[in-house]
Structure 1
Amino acid sequence: MDSTAAAPAFRDATDADVDALVALVESAYRGDSSRAGWTTEADIIEGQRTDREGVLEVVKSPDSRLLTVEQDGRIVACCQLEHRGDHAYFGMFAVSPALQGAGLGKTVLAEAERQAGQTWGVTEMHMTVISVRDDLIAWYERRGYGRTGKMTPFPYGDERAGVPQRDDLQFELLVKPLV
């Protein structure tokens, strides 16, 4: 982040944020705009990453929060936190492609972990990552997440999750102790 930018401000998303959050998530993962950052999935999955209904569901769910990050008056990052008993699930993580690689993602992840532990008293953070995303998995490993080898299938045929460009996609569970 450049030194003239305001510090990021964290807050829970509201209904009014939904369209901006969908645009942010799509820009970080899909299409040509995502290629400006390093988290793109454009070469392995086409189509949408999320939609208005999916984001609104997270915003409205009593067990979830959509942590929204604003900087200089605009939404620049977000992540989902969902309370699941003794752990929290971390998902829908997106950083504006123009800001990727400058440390904002590390800041957001650390704040998400802090808030999940403080709000729900959970002892672990769980997430799933597409198993062929070696660079992304390595990034999480450097932040204390461990690979579990536990896989779940990619939802082939559900275009709400995108249109896969290869037939070997699955999600791996990554886990980090928070205490």
Structure 2
Amino acid sequence: MTSTDEPFAEFVRERSPALLRTSFLLCAGDRGAAEDLLQDVLERMFCRWRRIEGPPEPYARKALANAAANRWRTRSRRVAEAPLDDVLGPSEPGPEDGVIARSELMRALAQLPPKMRTVIVLRFFEDYTEEQTALALGCGKGTVKSQTSRGLTRLRELISPDLPELLEGLR
């Protein structure tokens, strides 16, 4: 790595944890897929680093959303994978209730259509405004509003009534 690559290396060191969280949510809790998605996006960003105008983080988040959408499209043409989550049990350490709540939320997010999931992730997990979300997805503010409303309604249907605290942050 040369000294001209140092700004990119610094960006990766500082922002990777936050970008991985976004990727994790976009991949509906599949950590391996989230790491692969982020690595692919960072690899593409490295090649374009000198041409990225403005702050790189919004560029990275938009690239993550687009790459996740592309993966969903190509994945639907492949043979379905069999997850081992049910066989191996939860892999996240921590209080049991937190693990169950996160798992339930990830399952519910996975059942949303890709665009709706992306809107929910950007709005409530990344704290984007409606305008920022619309700009990141290249759609209108009205689309963001309707996808948010429908997405929250669907999440409320999918999440068990035993875990109402999951949706407290999504109001």
Sort the TM-score into its range (normalised by shorter chain).
0.3 to 0.5
Which has the larger helix fraction?
A: 2
Which has the larger strand fraction?
A: 1
Normalising by the residue count of structure 1, what TM-score does the alignment of the two structures yield?
0.32
